[in-house]
Structure 1
Amino acid sequence: MQAITERDLRSCFVNCSKGDARRLSLPKDFAESPWDDLDFLGWRDEKAPDRAYLVAETGGRLTGIALRLASAPGRARGFNSSSLCSVCQTVHTGGGVALMSARRSGEAGKQGNTVGRYLCADLACSLYVRGKKQTLLGNGRDDGFPLEEKVARIKANLDAFVASVVA
C-alpha cells in the first residue's frame, strides 16, 4: 500500500459523515505504519472499543470504511475454539477474529442496511500473511500457497467486501 496522509485518510470514508471522519482516532503509530507490508490500513479505535476502521486502495482510489464490532453478550468464545478471518484466511483462537459490520454507503446505509464479515480482530491481516505477526497458533494457516497468491487473495476478498459496502 502507498503511504497516505491524514488528510487523504479522513476524506476517503464512504459510510460515515465528514464530521465523523474528522473526529475518528487515528492509529497511534500512523506515521510509522509499515506501508510496504500493508495491503490495507486497519485499526481499532482505542477511545471506542466497538469501532474499527479500514482504508484500502480499490479501483485506483482510497476507500475508507467505518466498522462496528458485533457483541454477543454471554457468549464468550473459549480459548480452545478457533475462527477464520474471511479476508486473509488466518486461523485464530479465542477472540482473535471478530464479526465486524459496516453500514452501507448511500441510501441503503440511511435505511440501516449493513454488511458484516469475520475479520482479524486487530485488522492485521497483511502482517499475519507475511509472517510479521503471529497468532497463538503460530504463523497462521500455512496452506502452501506462495506469498503473492496470499496477497492476491487478501486483495480479492477485501475488494469484494468494499464493493458490498459501496454497492
Structure 2
Amino acid sequence: MKAVTEQDIRTSFVNCSKGEAGRLPLPRDLDELPWDDLDFLGWRDLSAPGRSYIVTEHEGRLTGISLRFPSQQRGFLHRSMCSLCLTTHPGSGVSLQTARKAGPAGREGNSVGLYMCTDLACSLYVRGKKAVASGARFKESLTVEEQIDRTKANLAAYVAKLFG
C-alpha cells in the first residue's frame, strides 16, 4: 500500500458522515508504519471499544470503512478463522466486524459483516511479520504472494458489498 496522509484517510470514508470522519482517531504512528508490507491500513479505536477502521484502495480510489465489533471476550480455548487472511486465532483474536453500507442502504440501517482479525493485522500475519498469539499459522501450499492476492481479493469482495 502507498503511504497515505491524515487528510487522505479522513476524506476516504464512505459509510460515515464527514463530521464523524473528521473526529475519528487515527493511528499515531502513520509515518512509521511498514507501508510496503500493508495491503490495507487497519486500526482499532482504543477510545471506543468495539470500533475499528479500514482504509484500502478499491476500484482505483482510497476507500475508508468504519466498522463495529462486539467487545465481549471469548475464552482462550475458542479458535476462529479470519475470512480475509485465513489466519486462526485463539479467544477474541477474530471478531465479526460489521460495516454500515454506503449511501441510502446504510442510512436505512443495512450493514455487511465479516469475521476478521480483531487487530486488523492480516497483511503482517500473511507475510510472517507478526506472530499469532498461539504460535504459527497453518501451513499452506500457496506461496506468500498468492496468499497476499487472496487476502486482497477477499477484502475487495467485502468492500464491494458495501456499495451493492
**TM, length-normalised to structure 2:** 0.96
Point out where structure 1 has 5 or more consecutive residues left out of the alignment. Answer: none
Q: Any runs of at least 4 consecutive aligned residues in structure 1 with deviations exceeding 4 A, and if so which?
A: none
What fraction of aligned residue pairs are identical, expressed as a percent?
57
The one-letter code sitting in structure 2 at the alignment partner of 1:55 is V
Aligned to 2:155: 158
Moved more, 133-142 or 46-55: 133-142
Where does residue 136 of structure 2 map in the other structure? Answer: 139
Answer yes or no: is the 8 Å Cα contact 1:70–1:101 preserved in 2: no
How far 1:49 moved relative to its partner?
A: 1.5
- TM-score for the superposition, normalised by structure 1: 0.94
Secondary structure of residue in 1 paired with 2:42: strand
Number of aligned positions between the proteins: 164
The worse-fitting range, judged by mean Cα deviation, of 149-158 and 77-86 is 77-86
Deviation of the 1:5 alpha carbon = 0.8
After superposition, residues 15-164 of structure 1 pair within 5 angstroms as 15-71=15-71, 76-164=73-161
SS in 2 for 1:123: coil
Q: Report how far residue 77 of structure 1 moved.
A: 2.1
SS where residue 31 of structure 1 aligns?
Answer: helix
Conservation of the 8 A alpha-carbon contact between 1:133 and 1:139: no
Q: Which amino acid aligns with 2:60?
A: G
**1:71 positional shift:** 4.6
